[in-house]
Structure 1
Amino acid sequence: MRMTSEPPPGYVAFVTRHLEPLRRDAAQVVGGEEDADTLYVDVLTDVATRWPWLELERTRLGHPKAADDFLGRVWKRRSERFFAGPEEPEDRQITVTPEQKPQKPTRRVYVSTAVRLAPVVVPKRRSSKAFIAGPVSEAAIAWWHAYENIRRRRLVYAGFAVLVLLLALAQVSGPREM
């Protein structure tokens, strides 16, 4: 199956149905709405990557909830992975150092590409709340991420195939001893 560069209407409708619950659940998992897009955008991208197969499963194999089931599995895996990290050792050592000028802690801020592009795609609302991208913008961005992931994978597979072919040719046409 070939993936187009624009999301199909079925995927946009799927994102429209699931976006608000995903945002709400992501905010609970990551601890705040400002960082929620570090999780739910990846989940939507994973679904977009598999969308052609999920549609095939829904239409041809008679599993109408294929995308919903896959979303649940991806959500579980991504949200568990969000907390997974190196465990802290039990024995902690405290080192006392001379007083130094306090440094401002640096924190990497993750912002969804959909949120950055939203003012271009959808005009801002006139409320005092922060602008939140709509389902169409989120679907388009997640679809584009999936499209790029698939394109990158194909390039890696092609490079690997060329490497194997070159190694096979080198083995066959190598120096022969007489």
Structure 2
Amino acid sequence: MAYLFPPMAEEPPSDYVDFVAGHLTALRRDAARLTDGDPYANQLPGEVLADVAGHWRRLRWWSRLRRGDAAADFLSRRLVARAKQWREDRPYPVDVRSVPSDARRPAAASIPATGAASCLAAARPVSVAQGLAPLLGSTIRVTGRAVAEAEIAWVHAYQRYCWRRVGRVAAAVVLIVGGIVQIMSHLSAPIP
């Protein structure tokens, strides 16, 4: 059967798993920061990844169209929205403080360098591997944890997709039956 919009796959595509592997650590760190480290907020990254999985095909298409990373933008927007919803659902206030970026960064030792020697030292890679690193593909490796998180998020998004599909079919049936009843009542009315 040909579909205008093909149904969602039951298994996550490999590019989604790679996306989760690349963003999982930062997502967990940001979720902990936004929820003030509350241990009950551990489900927040999974919910955000499920939101991304539900829109994955559209986000990939939008990324190709804009030549940007629409999925990462959507991930950050959903994380902020989910964290706000999480804070509103708490029976106690959550204290979230912004820490200046300079306070998190350790103090670097100042090494005085002068002239052309400092420019050469800054431009030259330390090793051959560092010189070849820009030429190689991504160094992000998919771990078992990232695959598990991607699979779980995809399953949750697929369940939402199935329930929405059932809801759309039920709404269509109600509208069709209502339309038929309306037409039949109009046709059966006595002619004046």
Aligned length: 133
Distance in 2 between residues matched to 1:7 and 1:143, nearest whole Å: 6
**What RMSD, in angstroms, separates the aligned Cα atoms of the two structures?**
2.1
Q: Quick one: percent identity of the two aligned structures? A: 36
Q: How far is the alpha carbon of 1:78 from its aligned partner?
A: 0.8
Number of the residue aligned with 2:150? 139
Matches within 5 A, 1:16-165: 16-32=21-37, 34-59=39-64, 61-85=65-89, 134-165=145-176
Shift of 1:80: 1.1
Tell me the distance in 2 between the aligned counterparts of 1:141 and 1:152: 17
Q: Cα deviation per residue 1:83-109 (whole Å; 9 max; x = unaligned)?
A: 124999xxxxxxxxxxxxxxxxxxxxx
Task: Return the letter of the residue paired with 2:81.
Answer: R
Partners of 2:55 and 2:74 lie apart in 1 by 9
Which segments of 5 or more consecutive residues in structure 2 lack a partner in the other structure?
93-143
C-alpha distance in structure 1 between counterparts of 2:171 and 2:17, whole Å:
34
TM-score where L is the length of structure 2:
0.63
Greater percentage in helix: 2
Q: Which runs of 5+ in 1 are unaligned?
A: 89-132
Decide whether the 8 Å contact of 1:3 with 1:147 is kept in 2.
yes
Cα distance in 2 for partners of 1:77, 1:13 equals: 24
- Of 18-27 and 44-53, more deviation after overlay is shown by 18-27
Instruction: Provide the rounded CA distance (Å) in 2 between the counterparts of 1:85 and 1:33.
Output: 13
Report whether the alignment pairs 1:170 with 2:181. yes
Contact 1:5 1:147 in 2 (8 A): yes
Higher relative contact order (CA 8 A, sep 6+): 2
Q: Contact conserved, 2:48 with 2:79, CA < 8 A, in 1?
A: yes
| CA 1:156–1:28: 2 relative to 1, 3 Å | same
- Computing the radius of gyration from Cα coordinates, the structure with the larger value is 2
* CA–CA distance in structure 1, aligned partners of residues 147 and 90 of structure 2: 37
Taking structure 1 as reference, are residues 80 and 160 closer, same or farther at Cα in structure 2, changes over 3 Å only?
same
3-state SS of 2:55 partner: helix
Distance 2:90 2:27 in 1: 26
Q: Structure 1-normalised TM-score?
A: 0.68
CA contact (8 A) 2:11 2:151 kept: yes
Query: Residue in 2 aligned with 1:9?
Result: 14
Q: Deviations over 1:94-145 (max 9, x none)?
A: xxxxxxxxxxxxxxxxxxxxxxxxxxxxxxxxxxxxxxx7000000010111
Is this contact kept in 2: 1:27–1:35, CA < 8 A?
no
Assess if the C-alpha contact under 8 Å between 1:23 and 1:36 holds in 2. Answer: no
